[in-house]
Amino acid sequence: MMPPDLVSNLQEALLNRKGVQPQHQEQESNDNAETSEPVEVEIDPLKPIILVINSDGVDSPGLTNIVEALVREGLYNVHVCVPQSDKSVSGHSVTLRETVEASSANISGATAFEISGTPVDCVSLALSGALFSWSKPTMVISGINRGSSCGHHMFYSGVVAGAREALLCGVPSLSISLNWRKDESQETDFKDAATVCLPLINAAIRDIEKGAFPKSCFLNIEIPTSPLSNKGFKLTKQSMWRSTPNWLAVSTNRYPAGHFLANQQGGLGIQFAQLGRDASAAGAARRLTTQKKNLEIVESIGAAGKSDSKKVKKYFRLEFLEKQQEDTDSDDLDYRALESGYVTVTPLSISPHIETDIQMAASDWVSTMLPGEQ
């Protein structure tokens, strides 16, 4: 006869190999799940709180590099709230009539969460006081986005929408994008982009605390393709520039490799992403799993309806064609200045009636903060 303790240990090992948890361990695990809370980085009451959000998830190199730069400064309490999956073209969409899940994420030096919502949800939830121990940070930074958000792209952009939502909630904000080019840009450009915009962030926070930062607008910052070769900062206006949307008819294999379409946001915003944007294989694998779940939900909803042999079904995929130039030679428009190598600073308001006022306020602030810049 084997000792009782050895028998018990062997049984436990066999159960674990089969994926079955011993009852007492399962109970202990459940107890821990009910009582444990994510570990937060201790808040220094003497340091400003910065909330960083983005539109393409926790593995985005843009997020990684801007958070690392802020943490390295040692001047701020950095908190992060980002979507669980890519919501880069979600616009100002929100999640209604669905439960939003928030999961703690491991980002060195910051307290971070991923949520099953949009960039606007990230800001709204974070500022509600329900997720973090505070409800109003000093500033919200949205980005760094992969790709320009100039011109009409601001209406589609999830990263711009996040900054806009912060302004709606009365919190100063910046949205930041890198003018990424597929065959020219490298992941290290995000580190350079963070380096370029960090002085502006530091100056903005100092002036927010002094009450000198413009209150009627947020700033959209566009970093040129070669960040360290930029020609300086330039105050610009939103242009009419846009890419041309192109709807392609596709076969019944309606989810080509690297793309997905989801309908979980109730049509409030376009949900489109490319898996190639993921910063790592691990991130891509997790996003693919999430996307497959989304597709299963969409397909199961369709399958639940009554079959109708006479119903015509067609499938389409949205793509954006090459950039469409605008019919103006003005050099103070965001897209033209960005293409010329400037870091563009575009003040954006939630009111269409005060454009001149916000341009003047932003111009005064940029002139004070960056003497000699345009």
In this prediction the pTM is 0.72
Residue 55: alpha-carbon gap to chain centroid? 2
Residue 18: pLDDT band with limits 50, 70, 90: very low
Q: Taking residues 203-209, what's their average pLDDT?
A: 95
The reply to whether CATH 3.40.50.970 applies to domain 49-239+333-349 is no
User: pLDDT, tens digit, for every residue of 267-307?
Assistant: 333 333 333 333 344 454 555 555 444 444 444 444 455 56
Mean of the per-residue pLDDT values of the chain? 79
For position 213, what pLDDT does the model report? Answer: 93
Cβ density class 289-322: b for 16+ within 10 Å, e for less: ebbeebbeeeeeeeeeeeeeeeeeeeeebeebee
Residue 264: pLDDT band with limits 50, 70, 90: very low
For position 231, what pLDDT does the model report? Answer: 95
Least confident stretch, 21-30, 59-68, 144-153, 270-279: 270-279
Domain boundaries, the chain: 49-239+333-349
Does the pLDDT of residue 366 top 50, yes or no? yes
Cβ density class 113-150: b for 16+ within 10 Å, e for less: bbbbbbbbbbbbbbbeeebbeeeebbbbbbbbbbbbbb
Q: Taking residues 16-42, what's their average pLDDT?
A: 50
For position 268, what pLDDT does the model report? Answer: 33
